Amino acid sequence: MKFGLFYQMPCAADQSEAERYRETIAQIVLADELGFDTAWLAELHFFQPFSIMPAPLQVAVAAAMQTRRIRFGTGVTLLPLHHPLRVAEEAAVTDILTGGRLELGVGRGTIAVHFRGYGVPREESRERFEESLAIIRGAWASERFAYAGRFYQIPEISVAPRPLQKPHPPIRLAANSPDTAEFAGLNGYDVMVASPINPLPGFYDHLRKYRDGRERGRHDRASGDVAALFFTCTADSLAQARTEYEPSMMHYFRTIGEQAALADKGQYEGSYQYLREVRERALKMSWETVNETMALFGPPDECIRRAAMIHGRGRINQLVCWFNPGGRIPHREVLAAMERFASKVMPSLRPFG
């Protein structure tokens, strides 16, 4: 099994934006030393309490300058908000500057204020996403490339530079909606699934939809790589984990509701209907619910048992740990939590395949 870390980078009013970036880079440097495999960096916009990281590829390059082996994934690049050729170019540069350590995670986006800020109709997100994905892959696959679609008409061009990894950096889809899980499966993509959006036991049903899609798309049902995101805090006891983790976690859930309040009532229409349930769940979230359905909390043996269960039922390939979802855990405590997990949990889980 592989292990990742997830960064969204929320920043409260009493925190320094520059310091949040410095701490995040320092944590990734430690993760490299501890043996974590991938740092996943989320692209989010326009709401400081939720995130101040609109440009994850830049963060990846900065962290790569201070690390040796850890890979960098975008978790995710929001394709409908950008011209796909620009994404292809910037990702190729990032792949070169990180020494071939980029994993391009992509998604269509869910947050209404993102689309409003960029002036992109959210109801077009699915088609824009699919066109963009086809263009990026096509631009990387051929020396000369052209495309004619609904949103993009591209005359024959050549994208330079080319990515260092051949044929291109691995592409992974954030598959948190039923539609995207099916699309990813049908088209044979690897996926990342977040338990805060698809909590246990529905998490397993969601993965079943993905693998059913792989089967219908004539891809090997069992070969798709699944990265699974869970809240993580290894401590001497569950009570200690709660004391350390709960304030930051609940701050994260509050910001979900605050961010949703910035958008209009139509944000839950069409293929985004599932987000209404996600928001309602966030507004009434409790420690007990998170512990039961979205997390690895408590002593090392309990974290190992829990992760082994998730692996056994979900057949996940990578466990992505979210050590500080609300950004309120002090930096030194995050570093200590990472060290505890790496020394007391990872060695027992690493042989799982």
Report the chain (353 residues): mean pLDDT per 10 consecutive residues. Answer: 97 96 98 98 96 98 98 98 98 98 95 93 95 98 96 96 97 94 97 96 97 96 95 97 97 85 63 66 88 98 98 97 97 98 98 85
Per-residue pLDDT at 290? 97
Per-residue pLDDT at 243? 97
* CA distance to 39, 226, 259, 265, 295, per residue, from 70 (Å): 7, 18, 32, 41, 23
Q: Domain of 56: which CATH number?
A: 3.20.20.30
Would you say 154 and 135 are in contact if contact means Cβ atoms under 8 Å apart? yes
Structural domains in the chain (count): 1
Distance, in Å, from the CA atom of 20 to the CA atom of 4, rounded to the nearest integer, reads 19
Per-residue pLDDT at 124? 95
pTM for the complete prediction? Answer: 0.95
Work out the burial of residue 21: count CB atoms within 10 Å of its CB; fewer than 13 is exposed, 13-18 middle, 19 or more buried: middle
Per-residue pLDDT at 267? 59
Which amino acid is present at 349? L
Segments forming the whole domain that contains residue 317 = 2-349
Per-residue pLDDT at 256? 84
Distance, in Å, from the CA atom of 138 to the CA atom of 148, rounded to the nearest integer, reads 12
Distance, in Å, from the CA atom of 112 to the CA atom of 102, rounded to the nearest integer, reads 28
